[in-house]
C-alpha cells in the first residue's frame, strides 16, 4: 500500500471515529445524569504553539483553540482537578462532583509555559505536567523536536514559576524511551534517573505520579506496574484510552488525547465520554499486537 493511500485511509478512519463518537454524545450526555455513571475525563495535551510550521502537527493544539476549550469547561461548570487531586478523590468517589475533568500535559515544552500556562492561570485551573527529565534546560531541544524554537524543553526557572501558581509536575520518564522494549532493570534505571533529576527541581515526592511515553500494554505493562510499585510510585498513566471510573486501576489510569484538529464537538464528546468505546477497541488492538510481538 502506498504511503499516500495509507494517509488517506487513516484520515478517513479518524473522521469516521469522530463522527460515530459525536453522534453518540447526546446519549452519553443523558446517561451522565445517572449517579452510577460518574466518570472523569483526563485530557492529555502535548504542544500548544501558534508557530505556523506546527499547524499540521496533530500533537499541537493552537493556543486560541486551547483557550476556547478552557472557556468551554468553565462555561459548562466543570470542576478541574489536578491528576494527584483526582487520584486522592478516587478514595471517596461518591463525593466527587458530577462534572470533573483533569488537564495534563506530556513532555514539557516551552510553548506550554508561553501559551497554555497563562490561560490556565487566568482561569485559575490546576494542571499536571509530566516531564521527560533528561532534557530540562536544553536549548538544543528534545532529540525528536529540534527544529522549532517554541518546542524546546522547559527551563528550571519556568517550572519554578508554574509551581508557584499551583501547577504540579511528575515524571514522564528520564530518556523518553519506549518502555515496551525495556527489561525490568532498564525500566528501573530510567525511573530512578528521572526521580534523581526531578528531586531538586520539584521538591519532595516527584515520583508519586508517572505518565509512560508511547504507552505500554500486556506483559510490558505488568512489568512496569511492578517496577513502579517497587520504586514507590503511587499512580500512573500507561497509555490506556478512556475515562477514569471508581474502579480504575491506579497504576493504569486512562486518559484521552486532545489533538490539534479536535473541533468543539469532538472536544465536548471527549469530556462527555462518548469516545469511551474507542478505548476498548484501542486496548484490545494493543493487547493483540503485544501478543503477536511475543509477549503473553
Member of 28, 45, 107, 198 binding Zn ion (CB under 5 A):
107
The residue range among 14-22, 77-85, 100-108, 138-146 that interacts with Zn ion, by the rule CB under 5 A, is 100-108
Least distance between Zn ion and beta carbon 139 (Å)? 19
- The single-letter DSSP state of residue 215 is -
Tracing cell 490539534 back to the chain, one arrives at: 260
Among 28, 40, 73, 106, binds Zn ion (CB under 5 A): 106
- Our CA angle for 291, 184, 172, nearest 5°, is 90
Min. distance of Cβ 144 from Zn ion in angstroms? Answer: 9
Closest CA to 151 of 203, 112, 180: 112
> Quick check: 190 binds Zn ion (CB under 5 A)?
no
Give me the least distance between CB of 106 and Zn ion, in Å please. Answer: 4
Q: What is the spatial distance between Cα 174 and Cα 275, in angstroms, rounded to a whole number?
A: 31
- Mark the segment that binds Zn ion (CB under 5 A) among 25-33, 73-81, 188-196, 212-220: 212-220
Span of 12-20, 70-78, 103-111, 188-196 interacting with Zn ion by CB under 5 A: 103-111
Q: Which region among 7-15, 75-83, 105-113, 274-282 touches Zn ion (by CB under 5 A)?
A: 105-113
* Min separation Cβ 109 and Zn ion, Å: 10
Cα separation, 14 vs 22, in Å, equals 12
Strands (E), the chain: 41-45, 79-81, 100-107, 128-131, 168-171, 209-211, 235-237, 256-257
Minimum CB separation of residue 108 from Zn ion in Å reads 9
In this complex, which beta carbon is closest to Zn ion, that of residue 107 or of residue 150?
107
Cβ atoms of residues 256 and 244 within 8 Å: no
Q: Are 131 and 108 in contact (CB under 8 A)?
A: yes
Q: Which residues bind Zn ion (CB under 5 A)?
A: 106-107, 213
Amino acid at each position: 500500500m502506498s504511503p499516500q493511500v495509507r494517509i488517506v485511509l487513516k484520515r478517513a478512519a479518524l473522521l469516521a471515529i469522530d463522527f460515530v463518537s459525536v453522534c453518540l454524545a447526546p446519549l452519553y450526555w443523558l446517561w451522565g445524569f445517572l449517579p452510577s455513571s460518574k466518570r472523569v475525563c483526563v485530557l492529555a495535551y502535548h504542544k500548544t504553539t501558534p508557530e505556523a510550521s506546527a499547524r499540521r502537527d496533530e500533537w499541537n493544539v493552537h493556543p486560541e483553540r486551547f483557550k476556547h476549550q478552557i472557556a468551554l469547561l468553565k462555561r459548562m461548570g466543570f470542576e478541574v482537578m489536578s491528576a494527584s487531586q483526582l487520584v486522592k478523590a478516587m478514595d471517596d468517589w461518591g463525593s466527587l462532583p458530577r462534572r470533573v475533568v483533569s488537564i495534563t500535559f506530556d513532555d514539557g515544552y516551552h510553548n506550554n509555559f508561553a501559551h497554555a500556562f497563562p490561560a490556565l492561570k487566568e482561569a485559575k485551573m490546576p494542571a499536571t505536567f509530566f516531564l521527560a527529565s533528561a532534557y530540562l534546560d536544553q536549548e538544543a531541544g528534545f532529540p525528536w523536536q529540534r527544529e522549532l524554537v517554541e518546542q524546546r524543553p522547559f527551563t528550571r526557572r519556568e517550572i519554578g514559576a508554574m509551581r508557584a501558581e499551583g501547577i504540579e509536575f511528575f515524571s514522564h520518564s528520564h530518556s523518553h524511551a519506549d518502555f515496551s522494549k525495556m527489561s525490568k532493570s532498564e525500566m528501573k534505571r530510567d525511573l530512578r534517573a528521572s526521580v534523581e533529576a526531578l528531586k531538586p527541581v520539584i521538591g519532595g515526592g516527584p515520583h508519586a505520579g508517572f505518565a509512560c511515553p508511547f504507552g505500554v500494554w500486556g506483559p510490558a505493562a505488568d512489568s512496569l506496574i511492578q517496577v513502579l510499585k517497587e520504586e514507590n510510585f503511587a499512580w500512573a498513566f500507561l497509555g490506556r484510552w478512556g475515562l477514569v471510573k471508581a474502579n480504575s486501576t491506579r497504576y493504569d489510569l486512562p486518559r484521552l488525547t486532545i489533538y490539534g484538529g479536535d473541533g468543539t464537538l469532538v472536544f465536548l464528546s471527549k469530556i462527555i465520554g462518548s469516545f469511551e468505546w474507542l478505548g476498548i477497541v484501542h486496548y484490545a488492538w494493543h493487547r493483540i499486537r503485544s501478543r503477536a510481538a511475543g509477549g503473553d
